[in-house]
Amino acid sequence: MRPAIDRRAFLAAGAAGLLLPVRPALARLWPASGFTHGVASGDPGAGAITLWTRYASVTGAAAELKLEVAEDEAMSRVIARATAVAGPETWGTAQARVSGLPDGRWLWYRFTAPDGTQSRVGRTKTLPAGRLDALKLAVFSCSNRPFGHFNAYAHAAARDDIDAVIHLGDYIYEYPAGTYPDVVMPGREIAPADEIIIIDDYRQRYASYRADPALQALHARFPMIAIWDDHEFANDTWKGGAQNHQDEEGVWSLRRDAALKAHREWLMSPERPWQRYDFGDLVSVMTLDTRQSGRDRQLDLNGALRGGKDGIKAFLSGEWQTPGRTLLGAEQEAWFASEIASAVKSGQRWQLIAQQVVMGDLFTPKNALEWLAPNADERAQNYVKGGIAAAQAGIPGAQDMWSGYPQARRRLLQAMAAAGGDPIVISGDSHNAWAFNHALDGKPVATEFGVSSVTSPGYESALVADPAVIRAGLLQSSPGLQWCDTSRRGYLTLGFGANQTRCDWVFMDTIRTVSTATSAGQAAVVTRGKRQMTLV
């Protein structure tokens, strides 16, 4: 159990600089002083970028760092200079927004401490302006460090054909060591060992994740657009709380604010989570917050199923289809409708909606119990039985996804259809790879590419059936689903051209050892004007 914490004493210690150097127990994860976690860049703009590092002085006092941006990796042609302060208020993290840079150019940067020591040299890229004929983005989600090695990050960091990275959330997980997973893989320890609740906890958890060399390499090589999902806060977050937040853990709003502050300190996320990033005239990336800004609480489908036919009937006629029920909130919905219309009107050829949860519906097939091991425990059997019962009633099983908010999803699709562009949705959270075509009143509207996790386990952790059998069953039971992979970890890339976009799912051979070997992937293409994908 977590010991009681005197909030005033904690804040006083932070102000005095006593929390900046790492604690002795954490020294084996990262150095106690100096540049401890490499460099990173994010939140790109036209001619602008935010540059990041973490520096801990020996005494814990604040330090002013000098920042240089150059046209070459040798840092011989410096074109911009700035300063950033690393101190107790941000637990040593330092970031600076640098503007007036060339549009769409690869640039290099480094930080210098007062004692003359320097960070590694990082590479970044601002948003391009004007005509753009090609763009490649890498997309990641769900990286639970104790489950395995971040091989997907390492594989992408070694590539030369990526322009920027999008992370769809679950960048960290909030659980205590030994909870999810039950046993921490050797060498994949996390700090602190307890569940993270207060600001110092969240900072340490980010720091322990960012000690990973593959993740540091990814950040040092590409700019990242990072949005949060639930585990940056607590499991199944909504606007008023979370499934994994109990009253004895304190006031939810304090925990939420601590999580938000730490996310902005480590991932350079802007104050408002929904943003638009224009990559020339080719792609408008629109980030959404489907998690904590406006989300209504998830409905209890399991409770309805326990009520039998009457419970299911009440669920179908109750809140589930209520028009006012929302995943985004009214303000964000209005913003999205306006921005996607503006993007199309301004001539952006593709509109990429980057958000957290799967938009398509997944229905459990009638024979899904056959996918379980013969000795599967009662909990697993009841979970599958519940999914089958829900599917037979016409209810998708995952109420934490857009499936739990059907009217909100319809409004989002209506905004896409009204804009008349070529929208593509990307989603994370589920740990598996998905491909959906979305229609509205029988007319194609958008495609969706769901990315598999970096390390977090998917369906394969509970099922023993051949993944091909699971795929065939889900394709038959789930309208709109075009393809899925429920067994492997990895990431995806999106290659945009003037008339076609290609999605490639990249799957890693293993996360049990350090390796960048891959297994056979899958690809799909979308042709402009079609608003439907084709597997290739």
Secondary structure (DSSP) of 441-499: TTEEEEEEEEPPPSSS--GGGT--S-HHHHHHHHHHHSTTEEEEE-S--EEEEEEEESS
Q: What domains can be seen in the chain, in order of their start residue?
A: 1-127 (2.60.40.380)
pLDDT at residue 375 in the model: 86
3-state secondary structure of 66: strand
Q: Which residues of 257-296 are buried (b: 16+ CB within 10 A; e: fewer)?
A: ebbbebbbbbbbbeeebbbbbbbbbbbbbbbbbbbbbbbb
Instruction: List the one residue out of 213, 211, 184 whose CA is nearest residue 266.
Output: 211
Q: 434-478 pLDDT, tens per residue?
A: 999 999 999 999 999 999 999 999 998 889 999 999 999 999 999
pLDDT at residue 377 in the model: 86
pLDDT at residue 25 in the model: 62
Q: 18-76 pLDDT, tens per residue?
A: 456 666 667 778 888 999 999 999 999 999 999 999 999 999 899 999 999 999 999 99
Query: Dihedral, CA atoms, 367, 373, 379, 384, nearest 10 degrees?
Result: -20
Give pLDDT < 50 ranges for the chain.
1-18
pLDDT at residue 254 in the model: 97
Q: What is the pTM of this model?
A: 0.95
Sign of CA dihedral 344, 345, 347, 348: negative
Beta strand residue intervals within 34-163, DSSP E: 34-45, 48-56, 63-70, 78-86, 93-98, 106-112, 122-125, 134-140
